[in-house]
Amino acid sequence: MLAWIRPPYKDCGGGHLATAEAHAAYQDAEERADLEQELARQGFISKRQSDRSHNFAERKLALYRIQVDRVTNRHKVNEIEQRRLQAEIDHHRDNLHDRLRDQQALTVLAKTGGILQQLGPSPNVSIEVGQRISTGGIVAKITNPGRLKAVLRISETQARDIVIGQQATIDTRSAIIAGRVIRIDPAVQEGTVAVDVELDGQLPKGARPDLTVDGTIEIERLENVVYMDRPVYGQSDSVLGIFKLQPDGMTAVRAAVQLGRSSVTTIEVLDGLHEGDRVILSDMSRWEDVDRITIR
């Protein structure tokens, strides 16, 4: 009896009747070939007839294998198509999530509670429905009277020594409020630098947004120094020729004065003057070639 190689029958799922029929036909042909091979060995039938049964079973085996490969390949194609469709679904789902996020981003919420002071980029320009606003544009202004800060405009030449945390005093015309520097604008606008000052303590009555105030920032505190009002051309850490009044009050003599650190209105005197000396601070450039003048 011949030894047949039986290919594994794959359960290809319901509906694959052709595969089941091919497998059954192959089994019938195999059993018939085995039977006729035994009959031929005993001499009941010819070997030629047994060989025909053997060849027929081999053809049925080949057909069954072809059918199994066809169904297997169809499953692979279906799996590839399914993955492609799933990728499209995931792509559309991601697009949907992006659109939903864009829709949610259209709802602008204030990050703090307060009173609506202005709707639009300026008091005279409002926002209309459907209007496009560039990134960083002003949609509205919300104010909280209980949380105010002062914004000081400092000359760019004087802002170099300002650092975060320095003490400041704010004059609201009705009270003096202590504060400290919390932010320094990195950009210069119209020759000035915006410096934000956080206000400490209780706000005075009448404090409101956009109130005009004056402020002083304490850069450094010096003790026991000789100082004077800042001359017209006086610069920090320089030597300046300045006219000093004599005791008679009628003449002034040029003196070389060593200047130190300065503020907006005053400057430190390191050498050349003593406490109580009187000097001329106005522009004396017309007399820069003389050392003594007479005052009339």
pLDDT in tens, the chain (296 residues): 334 444 444 444 443 678 788 888 888 888 888 887 887 788 778 888 878 888 888 888 888 888 888 888 888 888 888 888 998 999 999 999 999 988 887 777 777 777 777 787 777 777 887 788 777 778 888 877 677 888 999 888 888 889 999 999 998 888 888 999 999 998 888 889 999 999 887 887 777 777 888 998 988 888 888 999 988 888 888 998 999 999 888 899 999 999 998 877 888 999 999 998 999 888 888 888 888 988 87
* pLDDT at residue 257, as a whole number: 92
The distance in angstroms from the start CA to the end CA of the chain is 147
- Supply the pLDDT for residue 92: 93
pTM value is 0.47
The pLDDT assigned to 120 comes to: 79
Q: Which amino acid would we find at residue 60?
A: K
Bridge partners (DSSP) of residue 226 are: 269
Q: What is the pLDDT of residue 12?
A: 42
Please give the Cα distance from 16 to 139 (Å, whole number): 65
- Predicted pLDDT of residue 3: 41
Q: What is the pLDDT of residue 49?
A: 82
Whole-angstrom distance, CA of residue 197 vs CA of residue 163? 11
